[in-house]
């Protein structure tokens, strides 16, 4: 006798590939929505402060304490969101992401003043194109990118160390090499992060285990990861090809 009950249980229904794929696409749509909102806030704030430099940026630049707070506050936000993830609610995490993106916009306003508007726009379009291509690759590829992700993460650590060293050396050649490697690292991380987020949306982590956790919180943190990939790719391209005023 045919077992009609086992064929219609929720476990069977929700394990179908089309259902899993729909769940993953919905999760990624939320991730990219949060990311685009954060990028939009950064762009608007950066433009506003750069357009009103005498009113806002000059006082900030003249106050070293405030200037260092603007520079290092974004790092504090990332650390807070990462280490307090389990204790913070999804709305609080989202609020922190949006506040982080606004403070980043203030930092970026100084960059907009340092480079020509044409080079900023050109590097932004290039970064968007590269990011889009790698995001599609990460989503569609059947190859496991975990090993590449580990390699890119090690490369990221190396970049941070190299940038600290070059802070003292002030070598333009070394800076060029760092920026070139940075472009490679952040394009690779984009593909890896998108694939990882796709698997989270499917309920699977990197080791193939069932992922547990608040979906909304995971979406916010996923948006943070992709936001960081994009802005760092943009900054590396700007350091390579940007024309200064």
- 211 contacts 200 by C-beta, under 8 angstroms: yes
Measured between alpha carbons, how far apart are the two ends of the chain, in Å?
80
Is the pLDDT confidence value at 97 over 80? yes
What is the tens place of the pLDDT at every residue in 45-90? 999 999 998 888 888 888 888 888 888 888 899 999 999 998 999 9
Nearest to 244 by CA among 107, 58, 60, 120: 120
CA distance 170 to 173: 9
Residue 54 is predicted with a pLDDT of: 87
Which DSSP symbol is given to 210? B
What is the tens place of the pLDDT at every residue in 115-139? 998 999 999 999 999 999 999 999 9
Mean pLDDT is lowest, of 25-39, 57-71, 95-109, for: 57-71
Domain ranges across the chain: 4-241
Q: Which two tokens stand for residue 59?
A: 């006082």
**One-letter-per-residue 3-state SS of 51-99:** HCHHHHHHHHHHCHHHHHHHHHHHHHHHHHHHHCCCCCCHHHHHHHHHH
What is the tens place of the pLDDT at every residue in 199-211? 888 874 444 444 5
CA distance 199 to 119: 36
CA distance 19 to 189: 27
Q: Which two tokens stand for residue 86?
A: 């389990």
> pTM (2 decimals)?
0.86
Nearest to 134 by CA among 55, 212, 197: 197
Residue 70 is predicted with a pLDDT of: 85
Q: Which two tokens stand for residue 202?
A: 């499917």
Neighbours of 181 (CB within 10 A): 16
Which DSSP symbol is given to 202? T
CA distance 227 to 25: 18
CA distance 39 to 229: 11
CA distance 151 to 128: 23
- 34 contacts 223 by C-beta, under 8 angstroms: yes
Helix axes 172-201, 215-241, angle to 10 degrees: 160
Q: Which is more confidently placed, 217 or 18?
A: 217
């Amino acid at each position: 006798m045919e077992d009609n009950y086992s064929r219609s249980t929720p476990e069977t229904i929700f394990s179908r590939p089309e259902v899993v794929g729909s769940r993953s696409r919905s999760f990624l749509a939320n991730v990219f929505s949060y990311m685009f909102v954060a990028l939009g806030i950064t762009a608007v704030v950066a433009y506003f402060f750069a357009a009103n430099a005498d009113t806002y940026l000059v006082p900030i630049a003249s106050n070293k304490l405030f200037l260092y707070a603007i520079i290092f506050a974004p790092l504090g936000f990332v650390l807070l969101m990462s280490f307090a993830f389990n204790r913070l609610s999804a709305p609080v995490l989202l609020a922190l992401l949006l506040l982080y993106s606004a403070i980043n916009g203030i930092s970026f306003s100084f960059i907009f003043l340092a480079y020509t508007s044409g080079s900023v726009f050109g590097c932004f379009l290039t970064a968007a194109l590269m990011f889009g291509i790698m995001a599609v690759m990460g989503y569609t590829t059947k190859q496991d990118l975990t090993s590449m992700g580990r390699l890119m993460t090690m490369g990221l650590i190396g970049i941070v160390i190299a940038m600290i060293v070059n802070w003292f050396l002030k070598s333009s050649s070394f800076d060029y090499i760092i920026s070139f490697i940075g472009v490679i690292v952040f394009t690779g991380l984009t593909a890896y992060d998108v694939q990882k987020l796709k698997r989270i949306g499917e309920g699977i982590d990197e080791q193939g285990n069932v992922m547990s956790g608040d979906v909304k919180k995971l979406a916010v943190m996923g948006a943070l990861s992709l936001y960081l990939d994009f802005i760092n790719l943009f900054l590396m391209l700007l350091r390579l090809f940007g024309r200064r005023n």
